[in-house]
Amino acid sequence: MTGREDTGGLPATVDGILAESARRHPERPALTGRRCALSHAGFDALVSAVARGLAAQGLEAGARVAVYLGKDVEAVAAMLGAARAGGVFVPVNPVLKGRQVRYILADCAVDMLVTSPERWRALTESDAVPETVRRVVLTGTGPGEAASSAEEDGRLIGWEAMLAAGAGIGAGAGIGDAAATAAPRTAEDMAAILYTSGSTGNPKGVVLPHRSLVTGAASVADYLGLTPDDRLLAVLPLSFDYGLNQITSALRAGASVVLLDYLFPQDVAKAVAKHRITGLAGVPPLWMQLAGVPWPEDARESLRFFTNSGGRMPRPLLEKLRALLPNATPYLMYGLTEAFRSTYLDPAEVDRRPDSIGKAVPYAEVLAVRPDGQETAPGEPGELVHVGPFVALGYWGDPERTAQRFKPAPACSRTARPGELAVWSGDMVVRDAEGFLTFVGRNDEMIKTSGYRVSPTEVEEALYASGLVAEAVAVGVPDETLGQAIVVIAAPAGEASEPTDAVLAYCRRELPGYMVPSRIVWRESLPRNANGKLDRAGLAAGLAEGTRSRVKEIEA
């Protein structure tokens, strides 16, 4: 199954998408944030100014620039500016806490951090930021404010001061100014590192080359039919490939994006009406919330499409959304960070096969493969393998895990070039006689909740760190709203007797909300298998069969 085509004619770099749109649509709106709105030409000029400012701070080719901000113009400008300066941007999910953020900064040896004064204070109040972070750019500060917020830390500089420092570097070069670029860049150079949970331990950094971001933008803009008249509402984290792609695909089409950090689901519906939004992307838990709030008539009229990824959309929810948003065409999609985007279901097929994840997106080849590397027959389960230009370069600093996921394309591939690597997703799918794929499940222990992939080990390590838990196993159980809910089976440490409240309080301090367990099952001890390891599979099966012992329901 392939939608792979020649990618010739596309820009080589992700910031080149913006430069191209600035030439084609200079005066059309591009980006709207809390404090300002910019045209494509104006946004391109800001990105060039950021690139020069970062270069003035000594950013070198390939150095990592972490962006730890909410959704606003500065966040997007910092990412594309880092790319234009020859660096690699690392978007950090704003819901992460200090422990996770410090891990990311250390893991990929971040050179520069762009964040807000409030986030910087929270990040440094309990522990030090890794010494590799040589420079910290604080947004929302006036002249001298950054230094005064932490006079003892000479790494700090304000956003405006950073821009001013680069004002004389290659200024006036025009659209797509690359005068600050540290070295010539190609489509194969690193552009971004996106962190996603692995099956064990801490999250892993997926290294995306420029070609992955560029072809991903072109592919999505193509099958969604984006035009310069479209206005997208960005509500997903920019640290998601799904959220980031909204920005790049809109820029590719000359469309505009409104950035929104919302508190309540009704805020989203109101923003759709206020900005006459035509396209909205979400994950199942968000759609569940949005289906339960009143929508202004203006919002119901303006929205021409909505997209879903990050988990299967239940049929009743899909039908409710279609009734609520009668002018909006649904696009049901599947993707993984390692390959950016893989499949979508043609809206014309939604009524016939609403549970399908569809076929390959443009520029990609997607296969269902047997363990022997041959393509499955219709109706036969196989591993989803993604071939094509979206495929990432691997995991940062982890050749072992890279070799497990990024392997030579299977012999049944009809498009792979000699020696080309593919992403072996670990997801099991079934192909029907017409080539449509349906998701079956995963062949690892990852938990998919609220659109996030969560490592059970990462949850378990936080529980052990609390000192209140002697043994723990985290598993995912089906949940109508979340996709999967995190349930922990645990034995208390020492003389403690079911310290649920204390454990949850610790988790809420140390973990982002989507990682906090929704239920705890206490046992005196946990069973082990023949190898002496905790019997994760048996415990998960026991939960599924309802054979668990003392259970205490809690609210996440």
From the list 68, 70, 100, the residue with the least C-alpha distance to 507 is 100
CA distance 312 to 268: 21
86-100, 185-199, 448-462, 514-528: which has the minimum mean pLDDT?
Answer: 448-462
Contacts of 58 (CB under 8 A, 6+ apart): 134, 135
The reported pLDDT for the residue numbered 548 is 35
Beta-strand pair 359-360/279-282: unpaired
Residue 509 CA, chain-centre distance (Å), reads: 22
Q: Is the pLDDT of residue 172 over 60?
A: no
**Residue 173 reports pLDDT greater than 80:** no
For 404-430, how does the pLDDT look when each residue is reduced to its tens digit (9 = 90+)?
999 999 999 999 999 999 999 988 899
More confident residue, 540 or 44: 44
Per DSSP, the residues of 424-443 read: EEEEEEEE-TTS-EEEEEES
* Residue given tokens 């973990």 in the structure block: 511
Give the contacts of 404 (CB within 8 A, at least 6 positions apart): none
Which pLDDT does position 231 carry in this prediction? 98
Query: Terminus-to-terminus CA distance in the chain, angstroms?
Result: 41
Would you tell me the crossing angle of helices 241-253 and 14-24 to the nearest 10 degrees? 30
Nearest Cα neighbor of 526 from 517, 518, 534, 516 is: 534
Task: Mention every residue, 6+ apart, whose C-beta is less than 8 A from residue 493.
Answer: 467, 468, 469, 470
Task: Please give the Cα distance from 330 to 501 (Å, whole number).
Answer: 41
3-state SS, residue 60:
coil
Find, among 455, 529, 508, 510, the residue nearest to 486 by Cα: 455
Q: Residue 397: pLDDT band by 50, 70, 90 thresholds?
A: very high
pTM score of the predicted model: 0.84
At residue 198, the pLDDT reads 62
Q: How far are the Cα atoms of 200, 323, 333, 355 from residue 316, in angstroms, in the given order?
A: 34, 11, 17, 12
What is the CB-side half-sphere exposure of residue 428 using CA atoms within 13 A? Answer: 12
pLDDT tier for residue 453 given thresholds of 50, 70 and 90: confident
Helix (H, G, I), strand (E, B) or coil at 20: helix
The whole-angstrom distance between residue 45's C-alpha and the CA centroid of its chain comes to: 26
Residue of 376, 379, 91 whose CA lies nearest to 236: 91
Return d(Cα 429, Cα 438) in angstroms, integer.
5
What single-letter DSSP state applies at residue 401? H
Which tokens is 104 given?
A: 């990311």
Torsion angles phi and psi, residue 246, rounded to 5: -60, -40
- CB-CB contact of 94 with 132 (8 Å): no
Q: Are 251 and 430 in contact (CB under 8 A)?
A: no
Sign for the pseudo-dihedral over CA of 21, 261, 112, 515: negative
Sheet holding 519-522, edge to edge: 469-479, 483-492, 519-522, 551-553
Q: What is the pLDDT of residue 316?
A: 85
Q: What is the mean pLDDT of residues 186-207?
A: 87
> What are 48-59's pLDDT values in tens digits?
999 999 999 999
